[in-house]
Structure 1
Amino acid sequence: MRNTIAALDSRRAYAVLRGLTGHGGGMVAAATTSLPERPETGRNYDYRYVWIRDQSYAGQAAASAGAHDLLDAAVRFVSERLLADGTRLAPAYTVHGDTAPRQRELDLPGYPGGFSRIGNHISEQFQLDCFGGALLLFAGAQRADRLSADAFKAADVAVRAIAERWREPDAGIWELEARSWIHSRLTCVAGLRALAGTAGHRPLTDTCTQLADTLLADTSVNCSHRGGHWQRAPDDPRTRATLAACRDQLAQDHLLYRFRHDARPLGEAEGAFLMCGFVMAMAEHQQGHAINAHRWFERARGACGASGLYAEEFDIAQRQLRGNLPQGFVHALLLNSAAHLAHN
């Protein structure tokens, strides 16, 4: 029964990702705008643009699930943007590959507790992890023997961008103030190592390995938490410390919050972040904790609407979805985690 349900979820997630993807290969982050993450706080956005990070998540999920059409689309879009914009890759674009328009409010009534807004300020940010995510995408394509010559050139551009810019503060995955975010750096380390393991091209392999070691060494010295939180490899003690810290500090009812905003209870600041629940399922699975992995997966899987669609967040207290929907990266992580857990 569980495998049947997982298969149905995977097919639905694939259909959502396919529906969010345009003819040029770009997948919008969500199909809607201005559905608030938190009523009356001003936190509503226009997500009808292609985030490089989300596109990479979707492509990696497609590679895990054997959905080569989505994988090829993701590789094509990310490659084209890297070859066009190089080390100045923007975090997001329109589905046609153009710069996302600046954010502005409309003189229209909005969703209760919100207001109408179009455009996004994302083009003004630098997000280092986009380059690492692109390399993880390209490595997945290479393992599937679907990395084109142009994509290989784009991978070289991403490696060069990391080499030139990894010391710069960036906005990070949550688009906050510019700092040296550990997630951004370690995503680049992971991408470099993944590409080095699949490239089969000695000069690029050596470059990736050396750059990954340099970046990790600096991050270990300057950015590690005194409690030992984060991850490097499955058997690294920092992985286990990170999982333990997430369970202890960010979990409620087997749903996960992305971080603590302040001293308030987690649920008062924002909703549980559904993508994080599926990531936790894969992390537990990677550690060999099959029962815990399925528990996290099933809890996140159940936090959807009647149509089976997921938004970005879930309000545990009110049992309501929060934010724009369908949110592409949640469906991508569902698809990826379902593929991983199926091989248990």
Structure 2
Amino acid sequence: MRDEDGFADIRSYAAIGDGRTVALVALDGSIDWYPTPDLDSTPAFARLLDANEGFMALAPTEEFSVERRYADGSNVLETLYTTSSGTARVTDSLNTGVAGRLPWGELARRIDGLTGTVDMAWSVAPGTCFGTASPWLDRGSEDPVLRIDAVGLGIRGINHGLKAPEGRSVDGAFTTSEGSRHLVAVVSTHGEPLPLPDPQTIDDGVDRTILNWQTWSDNFAYDGDYRHAVLRSALTLKLLLHSPSGSIAAAATTSLPESAEGGKNWDYRYAWVRDTAYTLHSLTRAGLREEVHAAVSWMLKNLRSQGADLEVFTRLNGDIPEGTHRPDLTGWRNIGPVVDGNPAAGQLQLGVFGDVFDIVWQYVQAGHVLDPATMRQLADLADLTCDIWRRRDAGMWELPEERHYVTSKLGCWNALRCAVLLSEHGQLQGPVERWAAERDRINDWVHENGWSEERQSYVWYPGSTDLDASILLHAMSGFDTGPRMSSTIDALRDELGAGPLLHRYSGMQEEEATFVACAYWMVSALVSVGRRDEAVDLMEELLPLANDVGIMSEMIEPSDNSFMGNVPQGLSHLALIVAALSISGKS
């Protein structure tokens, strides 16, 4: 299950979470990624990015086979281990409390003996928090406590065969039997006292957490096609929602490579306005209210503090990112670099204007109303959009070359389209005639400069014959659902397609794997131009490409369907949801 250097396939990871952070569980039972206390904190377990950077292992000691699933309607993972001597089930949960998220981290691993006997072993071995601290065993407590700088990890258990702690890890071994119950748990805090709850209370918390997730799922209103896949993707997106702030992380990890050659390793544990817009589009259509309001309010509060200098992303708490650094780690499968931070901070990306207005328009369409301060803020942004759309920018793909990217202009077109609609609904006041006139100028500019008669396609930027898959988003926005967009779809599939999958833009076939979200955008675009049967066929090809528990990464290598890029990737899951909504006629 692991290569000779100790790395598991990215495809092997399942995700669990508690509304503040996410842990990744490999197929062999090792938790190889666990930032604490927050998703964007430095991880105590990071074997995902360096074989020596910490993990929590739990598995049979003899050869075994594995079957996994999430408990129905939840993000609690159930793994069935079968050996020659018996079967046992491990239930992995990041526990939540009676009234929501616990004020500490509670990583619980329940083990139930089902048949025969199974010899199990476990180990908690923290890393160095990206080379910033050295873990040590705190012997000031009767119960084992490991510390890494300000992080405290308390080990609790039931019938868990704890061995005398020594060194920098805590280990144990036990044997299951039919009907036996065991528990190994890690309780964590950061820079504060460390509670050590009664182990039975932790075990009870697993059942409560399943019920909490199921209560949320019961309120999930989607009843269209592919409901199981849609609910699983919604649950995955829920893992990326940072409950203390309302922000939405783009992904749960950093530095998983987009290419086997390395170099394209980014940190996605930030909140992008773009990803927030797409996420809210899908969650609103699925009838979710609390998450949508929290994310809209969080975004608008942040934008108000930024003024006209819109940031394309922020930290999960709303702070502006402070550059990047590269810890001295090997990277997954020795494909570096490992990056803490994202260099796209400070870029001009015109699409963000469309994203902001699209979020607000979706919010108002759902029956909500704006406050006067927000209306003044948005009117100023609409005025700014009327001028700034003429500038070059870094584009949706955050490139170093600033150009007149067609989809960037269309982002501004969508911003002004939504501004006019908001005004017509009494939710915005300002020079509407100017907004409408500039919207139409952008429309004319794109038709004149963004269309290639030679390619019979919209192109990436004027004067180029290169293609960009993000144009598919503007079949969904309604910019073009006619023959030109249909012809563009064919050109994209011909040049950028790899089976059912799609590369981001021209030239990427030689540099990186396919981008999962682009393929699902294609599904939605096909519906938008009236080619629903093709959309259904494509959807049926794409759905099996998720892993065994329905998790998707950022990219898929088409030669062997291996996962690449950060995981779970919010954009991939929300694109699946929108594709299903489109096919069901609910978008």
- Please indicate, yes or no, whether the TM-score normalized by the shorter chain is above 0.5: yes
Inter-partner Cα distance in structure 2 for 1:179 and 1:273: 22
CA contact (8 A) 1:136 1:195 kept: no
Cα displacement (A) at 1:203? 4.4
Would the aligned equivalents of 1:34 and 1:45 in 2 still touch at CA under 8 Å?
yes
**Which residues of 2 match residues 220-235 of structure 1 at below 5 A?**
220-226=447-453, 227-230=455-458, 233-235=479-481
**Whole-angstrom distance in 2 between the partners of 1:101 and 1:15:** 30
Q: TM-score, normalised by structure 1?
A: 0.91
* Structure 1 SS opposite 2:293: helix
Aligned to 1:89: 310
> CA–CA distance in 2 between the matches of 1:237 and 1:195?
27
Per residue, is there more helix in 1 or in 2?
A: 1
Post-superposition shift, 1:160?
Answer: 2.5
Counterpart of 1:165 (choices 361, 377, 388) is 388
The offset of 1:139, in angstroms, is 1.1
Structure number, greater radius of gyration: 2
Q: Is the Cα contact below 8 Å between 2:383 and 2:435 reproduced in 1? A: no
Identity percentage of aligned residues: 27
Q: 5+ unaligned residues in a row in structure 2: which ranges? A: 1-222, 459-473
TM-score (norm 2): 0.55
Distance 1:223 1:289 in 2: 23
CA RMSD of aligned residues (A): 2.1
The aligned counterpart of 2:498 is 252
1:70 CA displacement: 2.7
Question: Is residue 279–residue 333 contact of structure 1 (8 Å, CA) maintained in 2?
Answer: yes
How many equivalent pairs are there?
338
**Larger displacement relative to structure 2 (68-77 or 130-139):** 68-77
The Cα of 1:100 is off from its aligned counterpart by 1.3
| Alpha-carbon distance between aligned partners in 1 of 2:415 and 2:251, rounded to the nearest angstrom | 25
Once the 2 structures are TM-superposed, how far is the Cα of residue 272 of structure 1 from its aligned partner? Answer: 1.4
Instruction: For 1:224 and 1:5, locate their aligned partners in 2 and report how far apart those are by CA, in whole Å.
Output: 34
Q: CA deviation at 1:245?
A: 1.1
User: Is contact 1:82–1:157 with CA below 8 Å preserved after alignment?
Assistant: no
Q: Which residue does 1:34 correspond to in 2?
A: 255
> Which residue in the other structure is 1:102 paired with?
323
Query: What's the counterpart of residue 420 of structure 2?
Result: 196
Unaligned runs of 5+ in 1: none
Q: Give the aligned partner of residue 133 of structure 1.
A: 355
Q: 1:254: how far off? A: 1.6
- Correspondent of 2:550 among 301, 308, 333: 308
Q: Relative to structure 1, is the Cα distance of residues 339 and 153 closer, same or farther in structure 2, using a 3 angstrom cutoff?
A: farther
Q: 1:58 to 1:151 in 2, by over 3 A?
A: farther
Cα displacement (A) at 1:234: 4.2
Structure 1 residue 151 displacement after superposition: 4.1
Aligned mates of 1:190, 1:300 — CA distance in 2? 28
Please state how far the C-alpha of 1:153 moved relative to its aligned partner: 3.7
- Counterpart check, 1:240 vs 2:448: no
Deviation (angstroms), 1:216: 2.0
Which string of whole-angstrom CA distances, capped at 9 and with x for unpartnered residues, describes residues 291-312 of structure 1?
1111222333222122211111
Q: Structure 1: which 4+ aligned runs deviate by more than 6 Å?
A: none
In structure 2, distance between residues paired with 1:153 and 1:18: 31
Q: Where do residues 325-340 of structure 1 align in structure 2 (5 Å cutoff)?
A: 325-340=567-582
Question: Structure 1 residue 24 and structure 2 residue 245: aligned?
Answer: yes
What is the SS of the residue equivalent to 1:117? coil
Please give the per-residue CA displacement for 1:25-55, whole angstroms capped at 9, x wherever unaligned: 2111111111111123211111111111111
8 A Cα contact 1:138 1:147, kept in partner: no
Structure with more strand by fraction: 2
**Shift of residue 159 of structure 1?**
1.3
The SS at the match of 1:116 is: coil
1:145 aligns with 2:367: yes
